[in-house]
Copies of this chain bind each other. A is one copy, B any other.
Amino acid sequence: MRVRLQDVAERAGVSAATASMVLNGKDDSISGETRARVRAVASELGYRPNVLARSLRSQRTRAIGFISDEIVTTPYAGAMIQGAQYVADEHDYVLLLSNTDYRPDVEKRTVEALLDRQIDAAVYATMYHRIVEPPTALGHIPTVILDSRPKDEAAFSWVAPDEFGGATAAVEHLADAGHRRIAMINDPMGPPAAIEREAAWRTVLETRGLDDGPDLVAHADSDAASGAMAAARLLEGDDPPTAIFCFNDRMAAGAYIAASRLGLSIPRDLSVVGFDNQVLVAEAIDPGLTSVQLPHDEMGRWAMEQVLRLLDDGAGPQGKRMPCPIVERGSVAPPGQL
């Protein structure tokens, strides 16, 4: 059986109340002798408080619900969890992770289960940056949206990647290398991420006075096979691009495949920049793929820190854009002389 506070108290010859006060540092009016005795007995017996009992009484569980659509179970964004968990750990909070698989009924059940466990706050995280509407039940406790933005920005705190900034840096990186014909392969499904990345690409083209035109955009699904087809379409045109900026790394891997089939060498004949910095992909292909990194770890930390802020200060909701740095590998070089 586990050692209870009662056991410690009895062994130390004091009441449970006294023992509780000593072990919680509320010992202003406890004699130094008693204090020492209780502490000694507690550690001798290896006493650990029952968190359930404590939480029931104090109405705070130090548990944070982490609700995600599919982060936990996919290889993409685990760093968000890591970041959040690190901060939680540091402050003696525990994360209760759960997955909804995008199913509203599961989401409802999950949120209820978490609230039944009296979580103090919640992080509502998504795999992709989009616009979300968390279940209303979460409105009753501090909730921070991670990797998305809420429909009603006044209702929830949120942190999302600075897609525009990251994409701008990527395209400028290509422009700086001397490219004037920079194409983009995008996912036409149009989540905020896609719209912002394409807007940034277009803005750089304009600002720098680079080539533009419909033959410099191709649409594809978010996988290598589809990316390869899109890249082939771009590269087989009359005046092909010398660089391609891809919506994500898997499409960029597709661009490698298309280039290889056309006898083009990367980065000599074609420069490529991806997005997401998916290490498994970026390092599986040759040369390594230069890519824009999603700041998953930082966003996870920020979300959790914001949760703590909401719990402590009772601060109001806040939004934050997190910068996306470029990770350079070997897929960018000055354009060849044609």
Contact = CB atoms under 8 A, between A and B. Distances in A.
Interface of A: 48-53, 55-56, 61, 72-76, 78-79, 81-82, 85, 94-99, 112-113, 115-118, 223-225, 228, 249-250, 253, 256-257, 260-261, 278-281, 283-286
Contact of A283 (B51, B76, B223): B223
A51 B116 contact: yes
Copies in the complex: 2
Nearest to A115: B48
Contacts of A113: 94
Contacts of A74: 75, 78
Nearest to A112: B48
A290 to B, nearest CB: 15
A280 B117 contact: no
A61 B52 contact: yes
Contacts of A260: 260, 286
Nearest to A73: B82
15 contacts: A48-B112, A48-B115, A50-B56, A52-B117, A56-B56, A73-B82, A75-B78, A85-B98, A94-B113, A95-B97, A95-B98, A96-B96, A224-B283, A256-B286, A260-B286
A172 to B, nearest CB: 26
Given A73-B79, A95-B98, A280-B280, 5 more contacts: A48-B112, A48-B116, A52-B56, A53-B56, A223-B283
A223 B261 CA distance: 25
A267 to B, nearest CB: 15
Nearest to A96: B96
Contacts of A118: 50-52
Nearest to A253: B284
